[in-house]
């Protein structure tokens, strides 16, 4: 209720300000809220975080979700090893010391052991709670009042009663993965992928979240499954604009990201930098200036570094930073045992 009133007051204030100041307010706001470019250039760090030799026998640290809150970065990531996937949390104040951060394995909390992967963290203002979204065969969430207390996460609750019929009908020999939640003023939306060329979206009223997720619809599809594979991110920027990133597998077999934008979370999504030649982030538009040079050719599953931590997932279109997973191209072995590590992209062609 309080939240709704606040929304109304903010909206009313904005409308009143626009009415009083007239057209000049528009030019000021368009100067202050620049749009995204349609070509991206990045520099990359060297390896920032890798699996630790701590008796856990983890092979890879993957799928990071990151926010900056209370003067510290908070990262939730998947741990991968031959026996399967779980989740880890760590926090640090400076990327230069990220690899020194203690790993808190979330199987020690009520999240428990078993298949949990691809976390997403955000603060849901209406409940005053942190939500961790992840895959566990279904799409699941846990909550916590204190992001820095890894022991306090609640047990998983599934969003769906089972695999939605539309996913079963379209998944082919893919996997249902990479759940992602973003809310606007009216609704919360849950995205997921099937490694088979489909991006799905469900929704529920903001006031009903996390209950009552609808049957998904196909938000975006590609006949080439590798071009629309997995690991979607959806963010808001500026006034009612949305950025969609989806990971693809390129013609060279390496991972990269394509991007689209829209004026509503429901779409329609318009290509922004959405090709292998003009990608959002691919080894071809990244300069590796960190120690170790071009330590990866895959720019894979990760997240824009968010400083706005709430459910709207607001980002600034200026000076983007993206925490990603990369891999020594010489690494071999079964997929779950590969030594994925984390690196940071910093946008170098920001117009603002």
Report CA 301 to chain centroid distance, whole Å: 8
| Choice from 50, 154, 163, 328 touching ligand NAG (CB under 6 A) | 328
| Choice from 36, 47, 77, 323 touching ligand NAG (CB under 6 A) | 36
| Choice from 38, 54, 149, 289 touching ligand NAG (CB under 6 A) | 38
Contact letters (x/-) for ligand NAG, 41-70, by CB under 6 A?
Answer: --------------xxx-------------
| Choice from 136, 236, 261, 325 touching ligand NAG (CB under 6 A) | 261
| Choice from 32, 251, 330, 332 touching ligand NAG (CB under 6 A) | 330
Nearer CB in complex with ligand NAG: 251/332: 332
Which residue has the CB atom at the shortest distance from ligand NAG? Answer: 35
Contact 228, 246 (CB under 8 A): yes
| Choice from 157, 212, 275, 349 touching ligand NAG (CB under 6 A) | 212
| Choice from 21, 28, 54, 97 touching ligand NAG (CB under 6 A) | 97
What residues numbered 122-151 form the site for ligand NAG, per CB under 6 A?
A: none
Contact 53, 64 (CB under 8 A): no
Report CA 171 to chain centroid distance, whole Å: 22
Long-range contacts of 286-291 (CB under 8 A, 24+ apart): 286/42, 286/43, 286/44, 286/345, 287/41, 287/42, 287/43, 287/44, 287/348, 288/43, 288/44, 288/46, 289/43, 289/44, 289/45, 290/44, 290/45, 290/46, 290/47, 290/343, 291/46, 291/47
Interface with ligand NAG, residue 272, by CB under 6 A: yes
> Which 3 state secondary structure label does DSSP give 28?
helix
CB of 329 vs ligand NAG, minimal distance in Å: 6
Interface with ligand NAG, residue 161, by CB under 6 A: no
Residues with Cβ within 8 Å of 322's Cβ and at least 6 positions away in sequence, in order, are 42, 281, 302, 303, 304, 305, 344, 345, 347
Q: Where does this chain bind ligand NAG (CB under 6 A)?
A: 35-36, 38, 55-57, 97, 100, 208, 211-212, 241, 261-263, 270, 272, 295, 328-330
């Amino acid at each position: 209720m309080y939240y709704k009133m606040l929304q109304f007051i903010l909206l009313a204030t904005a409308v009143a300000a626009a009415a009083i100041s007239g057209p000049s307010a528009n030019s000021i706001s368009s100067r202050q809220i620049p749009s995204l470019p349609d070509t991206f250039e990045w520099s990359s760090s060297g390896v920032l975080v890798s699996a630790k030799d701590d008796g856990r026998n983890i092979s890879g640290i993957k799928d990071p979700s990151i926010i900056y809150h209370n003067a510290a970065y908070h990262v939730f990531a998947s741990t991968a090893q031959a026996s399967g996937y779980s989740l880890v949390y760590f926090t640090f104040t400076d990327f230069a010391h990220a690899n020194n951060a203690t790993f808190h394995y979330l199987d020690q909390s009520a999240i428990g052991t078993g298949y949990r992967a691809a976390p997403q963290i955000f603060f849901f203002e209406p409940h005053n709670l942190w939500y961790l979204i992840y895959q566990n065969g279904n799409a699941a969430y846990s909550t916590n009042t204190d992001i820095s207390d890894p022991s306090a996460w609640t047990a998983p609750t599934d969003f769906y009663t089972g695999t939605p019929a539309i996913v079963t009908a379209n998944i082919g020999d893919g996997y249902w993965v990479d759940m992602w939640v973003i809310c606007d003023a009216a609704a919360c939306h849950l995205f997921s992928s099937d490694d088979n060329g489909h991006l799905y979206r469900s929704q529920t009223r903001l006031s009903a979240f996390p209950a009552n997720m609808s049957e998904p619809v196909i938000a975006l599809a590609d006949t080439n499954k590798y071009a629309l594979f997995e690991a979607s991110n959806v963010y808001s920027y500026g006034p009612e604009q949305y950025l969609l990133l989806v990971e693809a597998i390129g013609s060279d077999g390496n991972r990269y990201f394509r991007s689209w934008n829209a004026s509503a979370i429901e779409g329609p999504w318009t290509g922004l930098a959405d090709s292998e030649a003009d990608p959002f982030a691919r080894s071809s538009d990244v300069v590796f200036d960190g120690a170790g040079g071009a330590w990866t050719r895959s720019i894979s599953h990760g997240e824009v570094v968010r400083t706005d931590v709430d459910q709207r997932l607001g980002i600034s279109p200026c000076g983007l930073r993206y925490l990603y997973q990369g891999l020594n191209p010489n690494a071999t072995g079964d997929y779950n045992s590969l030594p994925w590590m984390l690196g940071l992209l910093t946008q170098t062609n920001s117009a603002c």
